[in-house]
Amino acid sequence: MNMHEKQDRDISKAVIYCRVSSTKQTVRGDGLGSQETRCREFAKYKGYEVVEVFRDDSSGSLTSRPGMQAMLAFLSKHRKEPHAVIIDDISRLARGLMAHFELRVKIGDAGGVLVSPSIEFGEDSDSQLVENLLASVSQHQRQKNGEQTVNRMRARMQNGYWVHQAPVGYRYERESGHGKILVRDEPNASILQEALEGYASGRFETQVEVKRFLERQPSFPKDLPNGEIRNQRITDMLTRVVYAGYIESPGWGVSLRKGKHEGLISFETFEKIQARLKGTAKAPARKDINADFPLRGFILCDDCQKPLTACWSQGKNQKYRIISARPRAARATASPSSAKSWKARSKAFWSVWNRRRACSSWQRSCSRMPGICALRRRSRRRSISRRTSSRSKRRSRRRSTAWLRPIALR
């Protein structure tokens, strides 16, 4: 009689441990119930009294499972009275060599004895060899199942089907001939569509404005308890090509391709969004808005359909408000202080003046601007002075050669 058999005879109470790999298996099928029934039959055969049942729905490669931690705490609390730990199969304890050995040691340190109707655990060399082989086989099965799952998901994605978790605005629905496919999830689909199209068209200047728009929607899911959405989530939604009806997975080697699902926006809209994200960021509001000109940039000129700008003009006795529809080029070149020389300023002014003379608001505003009026006056003075100087030169030349005329007539 070995030590394990002696301990087995001294044990009268037992706990049952059941595990499935995912939460889905607790809803579909009765894996946990089947394991518990088999373990209870084994406990009855051995004469054990089942005092507690612990369950888990997580991967066998993990050791920090809620049910496992609760069982270890229970065994440590009743260390003076050893309990048998019944598992249906060695793979239910763990599906990895390191995890198996770690849990095996923890159960022994807590005062538990591991037993199973499928395998006999022992301390002799033959029993340990069989246990190690079965633990290796369980790890290989877990790794092989993972590889096969990834290969099937990759192949389905190559056919144009999204296989990951449904993004916000979509939900999975089973359709004949397609299996599970993404469909619009209202009202979140329409809300997100409005946000994406608004950012592409310029209605929302920044991602912060998109964030505030989505936070104002009661039905849209939030990230934080205070009703806010994380900035990174906004960036992720703006860069996900799945919303345009396309799919890709660089990690799996799946290039960009048309998906089988319906997009919330067009691919052209998605490209506009990416172009805006790669461009220069814009301020959410104009910096030159003040109490003097609150509507600057918001009103269009009736003649040229350009945004009206405004400024203060200093007169002889007081300042005057001036509203005009000058373009940026005109404001940059027509200002007397922007050009390097007076000749360049004069030439730039008249070129802009000739191009914009058809706009009446531009003409009215220019007629009241002191800088431009001074520019016109100085330009006219120079042209007048040139004409005067040329006339004076001709007159002096005629006077200086007048005495030669009689000689030429002789």
Cβ neighbours of residue 4 under 8 Å, at least 6 residues apart?
113, 121, 122, 123
Token pair, residue 185, equals 């999830």
Q: How many domains does the chain have?
A: 3
Q: Which of 194, 228, 188 is nearest to 212 (CA)?
A: 228
Inter-residue contact 366 to 324 (CB < 8 Å): yes
Low-confidence ranges of the chain (pLDDT < 50): 1-3, 6, 281, 283-284, 327-340, 367-371, 403-410
Question: Given this model, what pLDDT does residue 79 score?
Answer: 86
Cβ neighbours of residue 149 under 8 Å, at least 6 residues apart?
none
Q: Which of 74, 72, 87, 115 is nearest to 20 (CA)?
A: 87
- For 341-388, write each residue's pLDDT tens digit: 555 656 666 666 566 555 555 555 554 444 455 555 555 566 656 666
Residue at 77 is within a domain: yes
For the chain, what is the mean pLDDT?
78
From residue 219, how far is each of 189, 191, 238, 329 by CA, in Å?
A: 11, 9, 19, 47
**CATH number where 129 lies:** 3.40.50.1390
The sign of the dihedral angle between the CA atoms of 11, 14, 20, 22 is negative
Question: Given this model, what pLDDT does residue 338 score?
Answer: 41
174 with 131, same domain?
no
- For 24-37, write each residue's pLDDT tens digit: 777 776 788 888 89
What does residue 179 show for φ and ψ, rounded to 5 degrees? 80, -145
Q: Which residues of 112-138 are buried (b: 16+ CB within 10 A; e: fewer)?
A: bbbbbbeeebeeeeeeeeebeebbeeb
d(CA 309, CA 301): 10
Residue at 157 is within a domain: no
Domain extent for 393: 290-410
**CATH number where 234 lies:** 3.90.1750.20
DSSP state letter for 22: S
135 with 34, same domain?
yes
267 with 378, same domain?
no
d(CA 238, CA 257): 18
- What is the crossing angle of helices 207-215 and 188-201, to 10°? 160
Inter-residue contact 138 to 94 (CB < 8 Å): yes
128 with 34, same domain?
yes
pTM: 0.51
326 with 410, same domain?
yes
322 with 367, same domain?
yes
359 with 248, same domain?
no
Question: Given this model, what pLDDT does residue 391 score?
Answer: 65
332 with 392, same domain?
yes
Residue at 317 is within a domain: yes
307 with 250, same domain?
no
Token pair, residue 211, equals 């964030």
274 with 297, same domain?
no
d(CA 298, CA 219): 33
DSSP state letter for 242: G
Query: Quick one: how many helices (H) and strands (E) in the chain?
Result: 16, 10
Residue at 162 is within a domain: no
Inter-residue contact 100 to 135 (CB < 8 Å): yes
From residue 176, how far is each of 97, 180, 182 by CA, in Å?
A: 42, 9, 13
200 with 267, same domain?
yes
198 with 64, same domain?
no
